[in-house]
Amino acid sequence: MPKIEIYDTTLRDGAQGEGISFSAKDKVKIALRLDELGFHYIEGGWPGSNPKDMVFFELIKERRLNNARLTAFGSTRKPGVEAAQDENLQQIVKAGVPVATIFGKTWDFHVKYALQTTLEENLQMIGESVAYLKEKGMDVFYDAEHFFDGFKANREYALATLRAAREGGADRVILCDTNGGRLPGEIQAMVSAVARELSVPLGIHCHNDGELAVANSLMAVQAGVVQVQGTINGYGERCGNANLCSVISNLALKCGLESLPESSLAKLTELSRYVSEVANMHPMNNQPYVGGSAFAHKAGVHVNALLKNPRTYEHIEPEKVGNRRRVLVSELSGISNLLYKSQELDLGLGLEKEENRKLLEELKDLENRGYQFEGAEGSFELRLRKAFHDYREPFSLENLKILIEMRDGTVYSEAIIKMNVNDRVVHTAAEGNGPVNALDNALRKALEESYPQVAGMQLADYKVRVLDGKDGTGALVRVLVETGDGHCSWGTVGVSANIIEASWQALVDSIAYGLLRLETKDEEDPQKITGVFRGKF
């Protein structure tokens, strides 16, 4: 089976994406995770461009990479400067890595107007830069920047730049769709033409400006490239780079080509979310293969078919890439959605058919009133469990008062709360930097003695949506809260014309569901039963 090299440039090209800034230590963490999964090459950064990347190269020397080879990125020498005197090339050598990846100009338009030098000088810059790094004992990958635009504008010159790299000793020549504007058919034809002309292993580096980076990369593989460059989650400049999560999955599951070890395929979803977390970016739910919605089903007709055979509405088994199937409940749902969720949660739903329909209608009525359970599965599961007589809520509210005071231009908020917690009345108060924060602090303070686990539950996201703007400040609002415990996260929802009440509903559900998760997990170990919930759910 042919093996395709996977070259990750998340730490350099991916870091150029808007809103992304990795620290040197962040980059080390990601590099170690990529190495663990068997990536072949990891581009650490451009050592000549900023101090942070040099710090990374120093830090990574202290760690052992078992699978990946580290690369340093840079450009060819400057016009009129000897390769041995070029500061950029010197910094690449100082990085102390085994592989150098340098880019040069392929498009004659760029040579004339960006470099402002002659076409012949550009060829010398490419060949001499590659040869210099080879003399230093490094493998050299040559990134042919803007190759496809250059090839279309001036085929012979574009090919001449590739020959210059090959004659300099380049180990790989990477064809770059730098502007991301080419179509798959064009990519395949041009790569095939280069493969006929050039006796050197080829790679592909695509940007996603036409939303075709993954497709273009796959077409290049079919045309003969041996290396695909890209980033995790498609992060990168402008619209991003080829998403390696999709590339790797397609190569293995659709093309029958080996890239990463087979065992690593099932870790792709975890890798995607890990990199999102380190990048401080919210995971893209609609991302193919590894997104939270990639195997989410909402329509009743779909779910009815899934109950019979998942292949009816899924192109692969989600477990192959470490993902999972999700069934959503909404106004588009049918009885099948409810039954599926019952099976998924192992609730043993024993209600008669008419009772099933009644419960479903209640859920649909709530959605009609503004609730949205597809983004709040914690609230949905709690409501489903409340259909069983043995469910007992861990706490209940008796009284709540919110005080807001403005003094000297500063707003102060305080929440005074009275609750019943395990048949014990708790009366307490807490301040916050706003009414919702004060409410959250008071709720946690009231519960901390009975449920110390609450301290490990942290608010990850808080969203407010006005449901009908024509009602102005009196409109219904929907509050969606995302809470996490360091291992996973869950969503809860509240709806009211009063934003405090809607927030309270979502916050209460978030804590109750977090305790429920701990309880059901602890039931696997009888020594850890906390007694939060009793009876059969």
Domain ranges of the chain: 5-279, 296-368, 395-450, 455-537
Q: How much is the pLDDT for 263?
A: 94
Assigned CATH topology for domain 5-279: TIM Barrel (3.20.20)
Q: How much is the pLDDT for 243?
A: 98
Establish whether domains 5-279 and 395-450 are of one fold: no
Q: How much is the pLDDT for 389?
A: 47
**Nearest-angstrom CA–CA distance, 45 and 206:** 18
Q: Side chain identity at 189, as an amino acid letter?
A: A
Neighbouring residues of 39: CB distance < 8 A, sequence distance ≥ 6: 6, 7, 8, 67, 68, 260
Question: Angle, nearest 10°, between helix axes 155-168 and 184-197?
Answer: 50
**Nearest-angstrom CA–CA distance, 143 and 170:** 10
Q: How much is the pLDDT for 526?
A: 36
Q: Which one is the CATH code of 455-537: 3.90.1570.10, 3.30.160.340, 3.40.640.10, 3.90.76.10?
A: 3.30.160.340
Q: Where would I find the H helices in 15-173?
A: 24-37, 51-60, 87-94, 108-110, 119-135, 147-153, 155-168
pLDDT > 70? residue 520? no
Mean pLDDT (the chain, rounded): 89
278 vs 231, higher pLDDT: 231
Q: What is the mean pLDDT of residues 389-403?
A: 85
Contact 60, 70 (CB under 8 A): yes
Class of domain 296-368: few secondary structures
Is domain 395-450 in CATH 1.20.120, yes or no?
no
Contact 190, 198 (CB under 8 A): no
- Tell me the β-bridge partners of 4: none
Backbone angles phi, psi at 485, to 5 degrees: -125, 15
| Model confidence band, residue 17 (pLDDT cutoffs 50, 70, 90) | very high
Q: What is the largest CA-CA distance in the chain?
A: 86
Residue 141: which of 162, 110, 114 has the closest Cα?
162
**Nearest-angstrom CA–CA distance, 224 and 112:** 31
